[in-house]
Structures are given as C-alpha cells and as structure tokens.
Amino acid sequence: MKIQIHSGQNQIGGSIIEISTDNTKVIFDAGVNLDESDEDEIEVPQIDGLFCGEALYDAVFVSHYHGDHVGLLPYVLEEIPIYMGRQAANIVKAASEYRGKNIEYYYRCFEDGQELQIGELSVTPIMCDHSAYDSFMFLIEADDKKILYSGDFRSNGRMEFANLLKRISMVDVLVIEGTTLTRETYMENIQEELLEDIAEDVLNRYSGPAFLMTSAMNVERIITGYNASRAANRIFLEDLYTAGIMSAIDGNVPVPEKENGIRVFMTGGDRQYELIQRYPDSKFAKAAIAKEKFLMCIRPSMKNYLKKLNEICPFNDGVLFYGMWKGYLEREDMQEFIAFMENIGVKIHILHTSGHADVNAINALVEVARPKYIIPVHTENPDWYTKYDVKIILDDKELHI
C-alpha cells in the first residue's frame, strides 16, 4: 500500500489523504483550509483524477462533516462515490435544507463497524467521539498490512474512550491528528458531562434569561445545554436551525417536544414561518417566551430578534454561555455581539471543551495501535511525535509499506 498526504500535514485542517494499491485509489477526507471560510476563497487543488480530468479514484471516505474535512466534496468528480456515516449525512442534509441549498454531491452511507471492500482495499469505519456527531476513524487493510486513520477524535466526550480502544489492534501505520499539540501547555481536556454540572450551577445563580451560543452541529454541546436547563428547571429553546439538526438525528438528542421541555422559536421571515409549521406542538412566540425561565440557543445573526425580545423580557441578571472555540472571540462581529449582550445586562461564561484529543488520549491510542510508522496530520507540531520509538514521517508526502 501507498500513503500520500496531499494536504493536511504540518497544518490544521485541509485534510486530503490518499491510500492506494496498484489497482485501487481511495481518498480520506477532502477538506478546505481553515482560512477558506468563504466559497470565493476556496482554492481547489488540481489533483488529477479527483477534482479534474478523468476520474481515477475509487471512493472518497469522510471521517466527519466539519468543513476542513468535507469542504471540497462539491468539487469531487461526480463519477467518484462519496461515503459518510448515515447520521452525519442526515445532519448535512438538514443543514443544507435550512439554508435553501441542495447538497452538491451524491453520498453513500456506512454504519459503524461495517467493512466495505473497495477494490483491493478493505475499509472499516470505527465510530469515535468528536465535536462533530457521528465521527469515525478508519481501518484500511490490504496485503496483510493495516493502516489506521484517526480522523479527529477525543476522549472527553460522552462515548466511553476505553471501549473505543478495545476495538483498536496493532497496525503498521497510524495516521493521527494532533490539533491540541500546538498549545503552549498540554492540558487534560474537561469532560463534556462536567460542563453540565458547571452550567447547572451557573443557571441557578442567575434569575434572568439564559442563552447558549454554540454550533448546532456540535450535538454534544446542545445535549449539555438541554440537560443543564432541565436540571435548573428551565425550558430549552431551539431556533429552527438547531431544531432541524436535532430532528434529523436518529438517537437520544434534544428533539423538540413540549413534554420534554423543548420548544422552538422563529426569528422572522416567510421561510421561517413555513419551517416552524413542522413543530405545531412546540412552537413558541416571543410573548410566551417572555413569561418563562429559559435557556435559548442563539447566534450573532439573531441580534435584531434579541433586541425585540429584550423589550418585553428584560435581560437583567442574564447569562450567556459561550460554547465555541475561543479564537472566534477575536472576530469583529463576535466582539460586537458580545458587547451588545453585555450592555443589556448579560454576563458571559465560557462553557467549552475541546473536540480534539489531548496528550493522554493520543498516548493511549498510540499504545494500543503500536504502529511501525506514525504520520502526523492536522497539527502544527508534528515533531511532538518524535518522542515515540517508531518511525515518524514528517516531511515526505509518501510512504510505501
């Protein structure tokens, strides 16, 4: 087998990893670089047979739905099948429908542990925990050789990390992320469930409205907010985007239901009026919201809606949980929104933990995989891996085994 890192080495994001034999070529993830947030900024790498020319690849496998892993999928030649987890595909579809867009590629779905034979390669998805729901590692096998691609993973979510490690056996090559290794200090991640206790405690100390700002696709953080709201005897308010994502998932997530204390609100517009009809028993107007103690999912784009809500529901002694990467706080639009909320009486509390493996999780995975080679990806500190007594591929873009 041959491993070629087209993109994603010595950087965070933009992952494009090729694993091939003489007769089979498969790509794992096709992401944009982190600074390519706008479609006009995307530079599609001219990889022959993948994005241009005649199709030369047999499949593309997606570890999870974050843009730095899927942002280039619309540019994959249409003859090449794209595989992703079934729940992840449902989430991507729901997000696209909310935005009034059609997914620009056709995908096939796989399930956890389902071995797929792609030409001469056997590919087995192994579900792992990440800040994207339905995330996977991949075990790739051919000619008695084994490669494990970690995707993005962590050990501090609700999934039991020990159970994941039991599914990992010795491999020849470990292609592994190291996002958190760029931090100045290597800290152990806070457990996601501990955030629930923190949020509940904070909610009980504030008498005013409460808000949660996080990505609707960070399903675990939405669950954290919901559980904390119920423990603090508040209703949980989902905007239509969040409600659509939750409703697309076949699992134990906060789907809008009146009896479970989950209600849906709209912020305006004909399109939103149409969408909220999907939740006849759960929809909640501003006048009704103003009479309740609640925890509301919000985004900076809701500023005008929040201004109107504040006119009938004072935000004094209110709290906003910021549940996103701290780097976003440096953006001008985020700073303006935070200042707006503080000016109308809302205190800001950070409620976040990393979606990426800390040092302990990385060490544990390396220990059970016992690779002969390690290829660091999705990290700006690949030299960190040289501490292991294995061969580290840092600069060469290809490895033959």
| Closest-CA residue to 98 (of 228, 338, 311, 269) | 269
Per-residue pLDDT reduced to its tens digit, 82-111: 999 999 999 999 999 998 888 878 899 999
For the ranges 155-169, 181-195, 312-326, 355-369, the lowest mean pLDDT is seen at 181-195
CA separation (Å) from 66 to 13, 34, 151, 208, 376? 9, 10, 11, 34, 19
35 token code pair: 């600074």
The pTM of this model reads 0.95
β-strands 59-61, 82-85 pairing: parallel
pLDDT band for 40, please (50, 70, 90 cuts): low
| Cα–Cα distance measured from residue 385 to residue 387, given in angstroms and rounded to the nearest whole number | 5
Q: Find the angle CA(151)-CA(368)-CA(123) to the nearest 5 degrees.
A: 45
Q: Find the angle CA(30)-CA(32)-CA(37) to the nearest 5 degrees.
A: 145
| Cα–Cα distance measured from residue 334 to residue 244, given in angstroms and rounded to the nearest whole number | 24
Instruction: Tell me what pLDDT residue 184 has.
Output: 59
Counting residues of the chain whose pLDDT is more than 70, the rounded percentage is 98
Name which residue leads in pLDDT, 133 or 270: 133
| Cα–Cα distance measured from residue 351 to residue 368, given in angstroms and rounded to the nearest whole number | 32
Write down the mean pLDDT value for the chain: 95
Strand partners, 83: 61, 108
Is 70 exceeded by the pLDDT of residue 75? Answer: yes
Is 80 exceeded by the pLDDT of residue 38? Answer: no
Instruction: Tell me what pLDDT residue 124 has.
Output: 98
169 token code pair: 């056996």
Instruction: Tell me what pLDDT residue 102 has.
Output: 82
Instruction: Tell me what pLDDT residue 269 has.
Output: 83
Compute the average pLDDT of residues 336-351: 96
Compute the average pLDDT of residues 197-223: 97
pLDDT band for 196, please (50, 70, 90 cuts): very high
For the ranges 179-193, 293-307, 317-331, the lowest mean pLDDT is seen at 179-193
For 72, counting Cβ atoms within 10 Å of its Cβ (0-12 exposed, 13-18 middle, 19+ buried), the class is buried
315 token code pair: 């935000």
Instruction: Tell me what pLDDT residue 34 has.
Output: 81
| Cα–Cα distance measured from residue 380 to residue 180, given in angstroms and rounded to the nearest whole number | 9
Instruction: Tell me what pLDDT residue 104 has.
Output: 78
Counting residues of the chain whose pLDDT is more than 90, the rounded percentage is 89
Per-residue pLDDT reduced to its tens digit, 116-137: 999 999 999 999 999 999 999 9
| Cα–Cα distance measured from residue 206 to residue 318, given in angstroms and rounded to the nearest whole number | 6
Compute the average pLDDT of residues 311-321: 96
Per-residue pLDDT reduced to its tens digit, 374-383: 999 999 999 9
